Amino acid sequence: MSEYIKPTTTEVEYVTSDKVACDGPKFSKHPRVYLTVVGGTKNEVVCPYCGRIFRHEQKQARAS
Ligand SMILES: [Zn+2]
């Protein structure tokens, strides 16, 4: 059995700060971790504990 549980649905949290703290969704708490949203080519980060995606809403690339 794997200890790493992937969520059945991918949650995307839109944030306006470069760093976020995640301690898990209500049903599955995990130790609080601080994640850097902005970095590299993507303006998003995936929480290694719960798989939530945090996306920076102000730094999204605009199509037009
Ligand atoms: Zn998390």
Could you give the CA distance from residue 20 to residue 47 in angstroms, rounded to a whole number?
10
Q: Which residues pair with 33 in a beta bridge?
A: 22
Longest dimension (CA), the chain: 46
Task: Give me the residue spans of the domains in the chain.
Answer: 12-56
Which residues neighbour ligand 1 (ion) by CB within 5 Å?
22, 24, 47, 49-50
> Pairing relation of β-strands 12-15 and 53-56?
parallel
pLDDT per residue as tens digits for the range 4-15: 666 556 778 899
What does the DSSP 8-state code read for residue 51? -
> How far is the centre of ligand 1, averaged over its atoms, from the C-alpha of 49 (Å)?
5
pLDDT per residue as tens digits for the range 12-54: 889 999 999 999 988 889 999 999 998 777 899 999 999 999 9
Fold of 12-56: HSP40/DNAj peptide-binding domain (2.60.260)
pLDDT at 41: 78
Could you give the CA distance from residue 24 to residue 31 in angstroms, rounded to a whole number?
8
